[in-house]
Amino acid sequence: MTHAQASGRPRTVYFFGTCIVDLFYPGAGLAGIKLLQSAGVEVVFPDGQSCCGQPAYNSGYLDQARAVAWAQIKLFAKDYPVVVPSGSCAGMMKTHYPGLFRGRPEQAEVEDFVARVYELTQFLVDVLDLELDDLGPPVKVTWHPSCHSMREMGVADQPKRLLHQLSKVELVELPRERECCGFGGTFSVRQPEISAAMVTDKIGAIAGTGADLVLSGDCGCLMNIGGAIEKAGGHARPLHIAEFLWERTHGRR
């Protein structure tokens, strides 16, 4: 927090795209970058970046997670805030990097990095105090907060505050919104039946809202929820909040 706040509005930020965004939802990443740029912030995208290491970490392969994490940290060496369009990947960094490197020579450097990590909507609201002007047609949306954004990153109402700024967007509360969608990385294939039951309940709740779009800040959730809606022939379209905000405020690319 200190880095961004001490200097007020930072001039430059790093963007950490995440592996899921890189391969499946690059549009969400690009929209995040453009939102930052349109707020007058210079965005640097270290080219060597790949993944935060969470998949290996969650599987208990800590050495592999550490190696990949360290490879990222080295690429983000300058004193810029690190903005991540995913509560889960940002949460991995914030909550688990310190433990992964505790008592190791890299510890101080890791802690410096961790202190600079922001989830995208957190950064847009808390640091940039972003103001949005809605240019889109009326639409009904619902919001799925990801578990790690809430419980590891401490993202609270920032996404909803952004959505509430959009005059023609009706935000419908998702029943049991705080309950996990059932993704959980390898959980979805290690316990496929339980995961399926969870996502089935989730898309039922989404359908119940009558929303045209289900928005989230995490592409893992969107892949899970969106895949289930598509398979079930549901109505709501899954979309990352960054892409939605960019579309609403700048029209379709």
Interface with another protein by CB under 8 A: which residues? 17, 19, 21-27, 29-30, 33, 42-48, 50-51, 53, 55-64, 67-68, 71, 96, 99, 147-148, 151-152, 178-180, 182-200, 223-224, 227-228, 230-232
Residues in the chain: 253
Residue 161 beta carbon to another protein: minimum distance, rounded to whole angstroms: 19
Nearer to another protein, 6 or 189 (CB): 189
- Listed in order, strand segments (DSSP E) in 1-154 are 12-15, 42-44, 82-84, 117-119, 139-144
Nearer to another protein, 17 or 81 (CB): 17
Residue 50 beta carbon to another protein: minimum distance, rounded to whole angstroms: 4
Contact 20, 223 (CB under 8 A): yes
Residue 247 beta carbon to another protein: minimum distance, rounded to whole angstroms: 16
Nearer to another protein, 103 or 137 (CB): 103
Residue 96 beta carbon to another protein: minimum distance, rounded to whole angstroms: 8
Nearer to another protein, 165 or 191 (CB): 191
Residue 150 beta carbon to another protein: minimum distance, rounded to whole angstroms: 8
Nearer to another protein, 47 or 131 (CB): 47
The rounded distance, in Å, linking the Cα atoms of 70 and 107 is 10
Residue 73 beta carbon to another protein: minimum distance, rounded to whole angstroms: 12
Nearer to another protein, 144 or 166 (CB): 144
Instruction: Please list the residues that pair with 140 across neighbouring strands.
Output: 170
The rounded distance, in Å, linking the Cα atoms of 120 and 188 is 25
Contact 150, 229 (CB under 8 A): no
The rounded distance, in Å, linking the Cα atoms of 59 and 185 is 9
The rounded distance, in Å, linking the Cα atoms of 23 and 3 is 30
Which string of b and e fits 169-187 if b means at least 16 CB within 10 Å? Answer: bebeebeeeeebbbbbeee
